[in-house]
Amino acid sequence: MADASSAMRAKKIPDSLYELCIANVVNCLLKNKCDRNDLHSLPDHILMDVYFKMFLEKKLCILGDELSSLDTFERLLRFTGSQLRLLQCFQAVIEHGSKLSTELANIYLSRCEAGKSKVENLINLGLRLGGFLNEAGWYADAERVLQRCREICQAQPQSTHYKRLTLECCHRLLNTQSAYCCFPAAAETYSLSLQLLGLPGDAREEGPQDSRVPFDSVGPHARADTRDQSCQTDPELYESYIASLENPPPDDAEEVTGGFNVKHEAVWGMDALAPRVLKEFSALMFVRCDYSAAHRWSLRAQRLLTRYTPVKITVEVVRACGKACVVKRRFGAAGLVVRHAVGLARAAFGTQHPRYAAALLDYGFYLLNIDSITHSVAVYEEALGTLRNVFGRSSLHVATAQEDLAYALYVLEYSSGRFYKARDHAERAIHIIENLVPPDHLLLASAKRVKALILEEIALDTPAGQDMSEPSLLEESEALHKAALSLSMMAFGEKNVQTAKHYGNLGRLYQSMQKFQDAETMHLKAIAIKEELLGPEDYEVGLSIGHLASLYNYHMNMHVAAETLYLRSISISLKLFGERYSGLEYDYRGLVNVFTQLKRHDRADHYTRLLTRWHELREQSKAEQQQPAIGNEQIVPLEQLHEKLFGTND
């Protein structure tokens, strides 16, 4: 034992002299042996190290006092190497009980009202602070800051410079308003952005259809000479841009890099703002379930990328494009694009950064949609772990990841009935969201929907007469589904894919509750809305058709009608996913029962053989999924991405 202890001590690397000094500074502050003004005189990178040491040692009260100074916080926002550690410190202080996000936003608004600061300083601070609060997931405060910042921009003489700054505010506001489901406000921001970009008001329907629109068509305020004092879209890169203005490229510099000289990569001006704004258009349309518009805007943003576009922007645009391709069922392109985003994010930011976790969430979404459920769960779990390391356990970012993981686990365990892990994640997500948003907020709808689906399956798997510890899991599930439907109706109205999904979920629940007429009504509503919005061959349509077929087959003795519906559902599934798709099992089983009831035994035998063949293919798929879910993503040349996205073969 002594030898083992000696070996352990020998392997331990002692703290460096610098680390010992940082620890000593923290101890002196705690014991009031040094003045905080002395602390503030330290260089930015040392100051950040001191604060991070406070975070590591859980000295959160004094850390909260320090970060509540907007002047100090602005210094850290300006320091390019602090963002990830600042996010961790910021969230830890809030979880400790501070209202730091609201305090900083209020101080900024008061400073704006006082009118004592220079306009440029207020705008720059608003962009930095609003952007940080947005990335930290405190959307309500971020929106307040960015809206005030935009008002200041619009109150200035409307030169090209201030129009560009207004567009920068709009870009960040769109990100915040989309994430926080502020759709009326987002519509206003979207309209103003179109105006600033010089795009027509009907661009959502017509503009992005031709993704090959030249760069200059996005309007005069999307580009800037690299020497223009315009703000960048990335708070970490903004300072390098401002610094580069002091040493601009010579007038005769050759612009061979798509907008700026290779020797001045920091000087990327506003060339990178245009794709980010279009990316936000795509994100807004995505959360509003207008998937065709989301796809078109994402392609247009993708077309504006060059190999010199800053990597953060490239990752954001590629991620949006990948998600849009998934919902448009362009799985070949989606797979290439989403894996590229994961590989690029990992190489640029490392595996502990929330941007990498965000790329993983998109990857999990893609895997779930191509029926690679085991891998999807593994990817979601890694993303959740990364987000927890940064944001703790009381963040909307963490809640979103837990909800995604809960649904993936629900799908994975649908046949086994082991839903308790999925239920735990769903309930944790709801608890976090309920503590952070108003009770009627749309963010609750999706999480409640997932929990309702899980409770329904637990109820169906519970033996008759067994105490389920609650009045009725099915009744609780119904209440959750109705609450989710109500929130969706308030946000979107009836003609929306999300609303249709809630109708379909109620239809399945009413089938379980033996309310068959109500179930049929809900399924028919879901099918009608989905067909109108997505077309007759979409996956969502096939899903609802299969559910209605099950109702007719097993509960309403409408076997002829069920046969027609099953065959249509199978046709859609085979076209989109191939013969290994998991959902085919239920349609094949349904047809075996249909033809048995109709005494057409030859057809029943045919689908029994297909079901056996399906099981064999699924076993092959399970063997193939033994490989790790993460690690083989490839960064591909931009030209290859464009060839896949804009080609005609996908």
Average pLDDT over residues 457-474: 70
**DSSP labels for 141-152?**
HHHHHHHHHHHH
Helix 497-512 × helix 443-461 angle, to 10°: 20
Which of 75, 98, 121 delimits the end of a domain?
A: 98
Residues 56 and 93 in one domain: yes
Residues 24 and 105 in one domain: no
Percent of the chain whose predicted confidence (pLDDT) is above 70: 84
Q: What is the pLDDT of residue 227?
A: 30
7 found inside a domain: no
Domain residue limits at 119:
101-201+217-223
Residues 93 and 171 in one domain: no
Q: Residue 188: which H helix or E strand, with range?
A: helix 183-197
Q: What does the alpha-carbon distance between residue 635 and residue 621 come to, in Å, rounded to a whole number?
A: 26
Confidence of residue 590 (pLDDT cuts 50, 70, 90): very high
Average pLDDT over residues 413-429: 92
Tell me if residue 581 falls in helix, strand or coil.
Answer: coil
Long-range residue pairs from 248-257, CB within 8 A, at least 24 positions apart, any chain? 257/306, 257/308
Q: Tens of pLDDT along 139-191?
A: 999 999 999 999 999 999 988 899 999 999 999 999 999 999 999 999 999 99
Which of 172, 193, 223 delimits the end of a domain?
A: 223
> Is 478's pLDDT higher than 50?
yes
Kindly give, in sequence order, each residue whose CB lies less than 8 Å from that of residue 81, ignoring residues fewer than 6 positions away. 45, 48
Structure tokens belonging to residue 114: 């006082």
Q: Tens of pLDDT along 32-67?
A: 766 777 788 889 999 999 999 999 999 999 999 999
Residues 40 and 111 in one domain: no
Buried residues in 57-88 as b, exposed as e (16+ CB within 10 A): eebbeebbebbbebebbbbbbbbeebbbbbbb
- Listed in sequence order, the DSSP H helices in 235-391 are 235-245, 273-287, 291-303, 311-327, 331-349, 354-369, 373-391
Of the candidate ranges 89-103, 256-270, 406-420, 500-514, the one whose mean pLDDT is the lowest: 256-270
Average pLDDT over residues 602-615: 96
> Is 523's pLDDT higher than 60?
yes
Residues 84 and 125 in one domain: no
394 found inside a domain: no
Mark residue 213 as left, alpha or beta (left: phi above 0; alpha: psi -120 to 50; beta: remaining): beta
> Is 447's pLDDT higher than 70?
yes
Residues 192 and 121 in one domain: yes
Q: What is the pLDDT of residue 38?
A: 79
Q: What does the alpha-carbon distance between residue 576 and residue 588 come to, in Å, rounded to a whole number?
A: 17
Which of 98, 124, 144 delimits the end of a domain?
A: 98
More confident residue, 499 or 15: 499
Helices (H) and strands (E) in the chain, counts: 30, 0
Residues 87 and 22 in one domain: yes
Residues 80 and 128 in one domain: no
Residues 124 and 185 in one domain: yes
Confidence of residue 644 (pLDDT cuts 50, 70, 90): confident
137 found inside a domain: yes
Q: Tens of pLDDT along 482-499?
A: 999 999 999 999 999 999
613 found inside a domain: no
Q: What does the alpha-carbon distance between residue 223 and residue 234 come to, in Å, rounded to a whole number?
A: 16
Q: Measure Cα distances from 491 to 182, 209, 411, 498, 512 in Å.
A: 9, 26, 27, 10, 28
Q: What is the largest CA-CA distance in the chain?
A: 91
Give how many domains the chain has, as a whole number. Answer: 2
366 found inside a domain: no
Kindly give, in sequence order, each residue whose CB lies less than 8 Å from that of residue 160, ignoring residues fewer than 6 positions away. 220, 221, 224, 228
Residue with tokens 């907007």: 70
Residues 21 and 86 in one domain: yes
Percent of the chain whose predicted confidence (pLDDT) is above 90: 69
379 found inside a domain: no
Helix 373-391 × helix 83-95 angle, to 10°: 80
Residues 107 and 166 in one domain: yes
Q: Tens of pLDDT along 382-397?
A: 999 999 999 998 899 9
35 found inside a domain: yes
- Of 495, 403, 442, which Cα lies nearest the Cα of 177? 442
> Is 444's pLDDT higher than 90?
yes
CB 225 within 8 Å of CB 248: no
Q: What is the pLDDT of residue 628?
A: 72
DSSP 241: H
Of the candidate ranges 247-251, 263-267, 528-532, the one whose mean pLDDT is the lowest: 263-267
179 found inside a domain: yes
What sign does the CA torsion over 171, 172, 174, 175 have? positive
Residues 59 and 43 in one domain: yes
- Torsion, Cα of 239, 240, 244, 246 (10° steps): 30
